[in-house]
Structures are given as structure tokens and as C-alpha cells.
Amino acid sequence: MAKVFVVGAQGRMGGLVCDLVDATEGLELAGRYDVANIAELDELAPAVDLVIDFSQPAALPHVAAYVERTGASLVSGTTGLGASDFARLEALGKNARVVWSSNYSLGVAVLRRVAKEAARALDGWEIEIVETHHKMKLDAPSGTAKTIAEQVGEVSGRDVVCHSMRGGTVAGTHEVHYFGTDEEITLTHRAASRQIFVNGAVACGKRLLAVEPGYYTFDDLMF
């Protein structure tokens, strides 16, 4: 039985992760952490097998210190991280199993792959991304939109612009637009609920426990 800590447990995603861990065979929810008690990780001696973090960038120092000290595996879905944060996550991979993704939907992972292939084929076309999320989402553009833009930009050799819209309770919509002369192609992924991200994160965590220490991507573990 693998023991799991969930960080960001009071958030929408974190709460759903706790529920799924509770219901998943082979996993045991051993602790819930958020802003109010995140500092407890600094002094916590017992090691769990897996930490799933859907919190905010401010929690990363506490989470990273715990992983460094205990060797626990880490699934991170925190967005809004900077270059130094990603460097720290990659460094953790030297001695622990670590995966970070801006989006744990299998459908979005396929969208990223298809978007890159389309960019290779559509030489000279303009490419722009439109992402829409609920009005409570803090970061804009979304981490997913940034990731797609970076990957498509590497393939196409050009800067890809991201446009953000916020409103209502939209779980997440990402559109990649390709503009040619007299024609346009649009690739779209729509999330009907946050549960798809939760399912992907927990499935990714179970696979992470079965591999060697290292810094992984969602695609590394799921494809």
C-alpha cells in the first residue's frame, strides 16, 4: 500500500485528488496540506511514498525540502512556476522520482503532439493559441497554453502568441489556430470537468512509483 500526501488539499483540484486517492486500490491518503499547515512538512520525519502537489508556487520550497530529505516521489501540477523553480524540480530528480506537468489530461497530451506535427507540416502559417478558464484561475496564460506555445514554437521557429479569457466556471478550453492563405485549421480540447486532470495525475503517480529515480514528463510516463 503506497502512502500519499496531497498538497493543496483545500483547492478544487486538491480536494478531488484526495477523494480519488481514498478510492484507489493500492493507495492510502496519509495527509492533507495547504497554506495553513504546509510548514509542518519542514519538520515531518516519516516518509510517504508519494506527494501529489496541486498548490501554489509558494509551497514549492516546503515540498522540495521534504522530497530532498525523504526521497518521496513527487507529482507536481502547480502552474505559475519560474525558471528557478523548474531547476529545483529537475535537481530533485537526481535522487527521487519527479514529474511535473501543466496539464494531466491524456487528451491534452495528444493535442500537444498533434499541434507539433501540424506546425511542421504547415510551414509559413501563422499560429496563435486561445485558452479559456474559470474566473478564479490566477495565472494567464495557462501553463498548458505556455507549454503548447513553447513546443509549437520550437518546431515552427517562430513566436506563438497566447490569448487568455476568464469567466464563469469553464474547466479549461485550449484552441490552437493555424492561419494560411484562404484557409484555417483549429485544434481544440475542451475539459468538461476537472476530474480528467485528477484521473491523469493519480494514474501518473502510480506509474511514477514503478520507475527509476529521475525527472519525467507526463508523456514519458503515459505513452
pLDDT band at 46 (very low <50, low <70, confident <90, very high): confident
3-state class (DSSP) for residue 187: strand
Specify the number of domains making up the chain: 2
Residues 54, 144 within the same domain: no
Assess whether 165 and 211 both reside in one domain: no
Q: By residue range, what is the domain housing residue 172?
A: 106-190
Give the CATH number of the domain where residue 156 resides.
3.30.360.10
111 in the same domain as 100 = no
Considering the domain architecture, whether residues 87 and 131 belong to the same structural domain is answered as no
Average pLDDT for 200-217 = 97
Contact 9, 18 (CB under 8 A): yes
Taking a C-beta distance cutoff of 8 angstroms, is the pair 170, 190 a contact?
A: no
Say if residue 114 is in the same domain as residue 183: yes
Evaluate if residue 43 carries a pLDDT over 90: no
Q: Determine the average pLDDT of the residues in 180-185.
A: 98
Distance of alpha carbon 90 from alpha carbon 82, whole angstroms: 13
**Is the pLDDT score of 198 beyond 70?**
yes
Same domain? For 77 and 26 the reply is: yes
Strand order in the sheet with 214-216: 27-33, 2-7, 50-53, 73-76, 97-100, 214-216
User: Both 170 and 111 in a single domain?
Assistant: yes
Question: 81 and 10 in one domain?
Answer: yes
Judge if 200 and 186 occupy the same domain.
Answer: no
Quick count: other Cβ atoms within 10 Å of Cβ 70?
Answer: 17
128-177 tens-digit pLDDT: 999 999 999 988 999 999 999 999 999 999 899 999 999 999 999 999 99
| Residue 111 and residue 178 in one domain | yes
Task: Give the CATH number for residue 207.
Answer: 3.40.50.720
Does 204 share its domain with 99? yes
92-96: list long-range contacts, CB under 8 Å, 24+ apart. Answer: 92/64, 92/67, 92/68, 92/215, 93/213, 93/214, 93/215, 93/216, 94/213, 95/68, 95/71, 95/213, 96/67, 96/68, 96/71, 96/72, 96/213
- Judged against a pLDDT cut of 80, whether residue 115 lies above it is answered with yes
Residues catalogued as catalytic = 133, 137
Q: Are residues 160 and 81 in the same domain?
A: no
pTM: 0.86
